[in-house]
Chains A and B, each alone.
Chain A
Amino acid sequence: MITLEKVSFTYRSGQRALQDVDLNIEGGDFIAIMGENGAGKTTLAKHLNGLLKPSQGRVLVDGEDTRKVSVARLSRKVGLVFQNPDHLLFSETVKDEVAFGLKNFGFAPEVVHKQVERTLEALGLSEYAESSPFLLSGGERKRVALAAILAIEPDYLILDEPTIGQDYQQKERLRNFILQLYSQGKAVVMITHDVEFVAESNPKVILLSQGRIVARGPADSVLSKDELVKKASLVRPQMSRLFGELAKYGLPSDVVDVHRARILLEEKLSEAKVRVAQNS
């Protein structure tokens, strides 16, 4: 479990990035951290593996204070995938890139080999194993960056804006992949602006604004509230806006995903059908 206790952080420039953040992340959790630009999302992520240490309060990873343990040791458990893959790709082949972390953590060569193959397979990157990461498209490079962290098999996976530059099918795959991970008991934390992606995945949502947590709860209850969403400089997902308009027909207003919308609309439609049949 990762525990943040009253964490505040101020950059050396004097800029306050986090204030009194309390948060628990457990195995099996799927959490989306959302908020305006500069809300402190990335700063929060960097606290989870000890890259940044809190100015006040503390962060515990499986009971260990991040101030007292090395980043390398924490990174074995907490995998942080940076937003821009260009900040970490440097190897000649995709295979080497994915193996880098594993080698740093001292895994045996045969384990490294097996793990690299498995991860590439899982992310649909096997055909690029021998290609240079720099010749891949932006979306593919992003997946290589993800593979580089996933191969380490961290217990907690932190993804900074994973959906940027991914086409819809890749997003769909990413969603399934995340689902697999947290149903296997890993924790997935995702930093994102992508309201639709969150609405369809139904994680717990944490809304950050100006360094403070302003709301937390299931995606459908947080993302369907206009005043909350506006605070974090977001707009409600399309389904929520549609159901807001449809409220006068007695439909609930906290619908954010297609699946639930379908069920509710089907009910209404069949009711209507029955009524038409009775009338005639």
Chain B
Amino acid sequence: MSLRTLEGFKFSTLKTPVHLLDPRTKFLIVIAVLVPALLFANIYVMIALLLSQLPLLLVGKVARRWALSLRAGVFLSALIFVVNLFTGSYLSAIALTLRFLVLLTSFSLFFMTTSPDDLGLALDRIGAVRWLSRRWLGYPNALSFTFTTAVRLVPTLAVDAQTVVDAQRSRGLELDKGNLLKRVRNYIPILIPLLLIAIRRSLELAEALESRGFPGKEGRTSLFQLKLRPVDYAIIALSLAIIGISFWVYFHYKVPVL
């Protein structure tokens, strides 16, 4: 697996209509895809769900990067297919593999078009998150901040990972040499420095935050405010309808695999 597969989940700074949607709207789209995908193991439903996301990928200009994330999913898809062949019919194996691709696509779409900042803002608006955060960490914005920071550190860590690989190769380490066990052990010189860099960086970040007065006063304000636009309301209504209909069908009919 190469680090490029992460590209399929990385935010791209574009200003397409999809990027401009409210993060809460986009999260509801994910749910609206997730619910039917998990309720029905039907090949037609899966294909419909996949196709329905294509326009969003194209309008969001992330279709090419989505293809990258699919490439990363090839191995896992094959695994899911084979395992399900043994436990069920080949049709259900196809349906379940497609289900995996549907989920992969919707998460990939969400993360590629939603900036970590927007995500943090959206999380901050959720009462449950604020309540939990206050109970655990004594500060209502702490959880959403932790999340945003974690997401934001991924690209930085990817750069570090490349440097560590380069540094160890310069010491004669050959990652793809030896039998399977040896190959797994080859990654120890990569993972240990990377882990330590991450820990060291988070300690530094904590100190930097404290020296700048974090967490500050209760009720932090932000420069950008999330606002639902008419498009958002329309999509939210559509998503809720899909979720509602899915449940209604699920409780009234038995949907076959094909």
Where the two chains meet, the residues of A that have a C-beta atom closer than 8 Å to any C-beta of B are 46, 49, 51, 70-72, 75-76, 79-80, 82, 84, 86-90, 100-101, 104-105, 134, 148-149, 152
Contacts and interface: CB of A to CB of B under 8 A. Distances in A.
B170 interface: yes
B169 interface: yes
B246 to A, nearest CB: 41
A149 B170 contact: yes
A87 B189 CA distance: 10
B202 to A, nearest CB: 14
Interface stretch (B27-35, B49-57, B191-199, B222-230): B191-199
Interface string B161-177: 00110111111111000
Contacts of A84: 163
B164 A88 contact: yes
A88 B169 contact: no
Nearest to B163: A87
B173 A46 contact: no
B189 A100 contact: yes
A75 B173 CA distance: 10
A104 B21 CA distance: 52
Nearest to A80: B170
A63 to B, nearest CB: 21
B172 A79 contact: no
Interface in B169-191: 169-174, 188-189
A150 B174 CA distance: 19
A72 B174 contact: yes
A227 to B, nearest CB: 34
B64 interface: no
B173 to A, nearest CB: 6
15 contacts: A46-B166, A71-B170, A72-B173, A75-B171, A86-B193, A87-B164, A88-B167, A89-B193, A101-B172, A104-B172, A104-B174, A105-B172, A149-B170, A149-B171, A152-B172
Given A82-B163, A88-B193, A134-B196, A51 B188 contact: no
B167 A104 contact: no
A98 to B, nearest CB: 10
A80 B166 CA distance: 10
B5 to A, nearest CB: 15
A82 B166 CA distance: 9
B134 interface: no
Nearest to B191: A90
A70 B174 contact: yes
Given A75-B171, A152-B172, 11 more contacts: A72-B172, A72-B173, A82-B166, A84-B163, A87-B163, A87-B167, A89-B196, A90-B196, A104-B172, A104-B174, A148-B171
A72 B193 CA distance: 20
Contacts of A134: 196
A15 to B, nearest CB: 13
Contacts of B15: none
B71 interface: no
A87 B197 contact: yes
B160 interface: yes
B125 interface: no
Contacts of A105: 172
Contacts of B167: 82, 87-88
A218 B172 CA distance: 33
The 3 closest A-B pairs by CB, nearest first: A104-B172, A90-B192, A101-B171
Contacts of B169: 51, 71-72, 75
Interface string B13-53: 00000000000000000000000000000000000000000
A13 to B, nearest CB: 12
B160 A87 contact: yes
A49 B167 CA distance: 11
Given A86-B196, A87-B193, A100 B171 contact: yes
Contact of B170 (A82, A86, A90): A82
Contacts of B193: 86-90
A215 B169 CA distance: 31
Interface in B135-173: 160, 163-164, 166-173
Contact of B166 (A51, A72, A104): A51
